[in-house]
Amino acid sequence: MVRLDGTQALVTGASKGIGRGIAEGLATEGATVGVNYPPQEDTAHADDVVETIEASGGTARAFEADVSDAADVESMLDAFDDAFGTIDVLVNNAGILTQSPLAEMPVEMWDETIAVDLRGTFLPTRFALPKMLESGGGSIINVASQLGILGGEELVHYSAAKGGVIAMTRALAREVSPTVRVNAVAPGPVQTELLDDISEEWREAKAAQLPMDRLGEVEDIVPTVVFLASEESSYYTGQTLSPDGGDAMH
């Protein structure tokens, strides 16, 4: 039997990059998957994820929502409930990444990063959690970053948001365990579209710093999320697991 047979999972920011890999990885293990994508994005990306999952014999559906908008997120969770019923696994993956020295950073850049990366983790959790508590169980997995532990030059806004995600993970785990488990994954830099706005110099320097001597790939991250979604991790809560090439070593 596959590890997630009979479970229902929602993955935010699942139309590209790590989110897409997670959605497909969960489906491969038997989960029915909700594929969230933002309103400003062409639906073709999310539709392609759904089609890929269905072509492999899985079940998936795309859900449009801005994770920083409370009404959008609440509507998405209601639509997920109507489509699939109980939510067993929530993966808060949606995020943005921009680069700027803090002394030059537009206030709007800070606000947008906190809105998507931190508020966008809080809101899906806020509206999914009552359903999980009512049903008697579930697993919440927050995708943070090793920069939430280490910090990063010209990435103060992103580091602050991801550090907040890690703190939120620990606090919420104490609040809702053992009924609902809450864990985080803190990847290192991964070769996805998210790095498109980060300079090549930064990427090369970062890869050279890593003990594993390379940036990560989506395939390096997905198994950790699948593990945390499954019963194999039933004694894990409040933890931050770091597939990061040895960057943080915490």
- Catalytic residues, by residue number, are 158
Do 172 and 166 touch, CB atoms closer than 8 A? no
Do 32 and 4 touch, CB atoms closer than 8 A? no
Which residues are CB-neighbours of 100 under 8 A, at least 6 positions away? 106, 109, 154, 157
Q: How far apart are CA 153 and CA 144, in angstroms?
A: 17
Do 187 and 242 touch, CB atoms closer than 8 A? yes
Do 85 and 128 touch, CB atoms closer than 8 A? no
Q: Residue 128: how many CB atoms within 10 A of its CB? A: 24
Which two tokens mark 51?
A: 């089609």
Do 113 and 98 touch, CB atoms closer than 8 A? yes
Look at strands 180-185 and 60-64 and give their pairing: unpaired
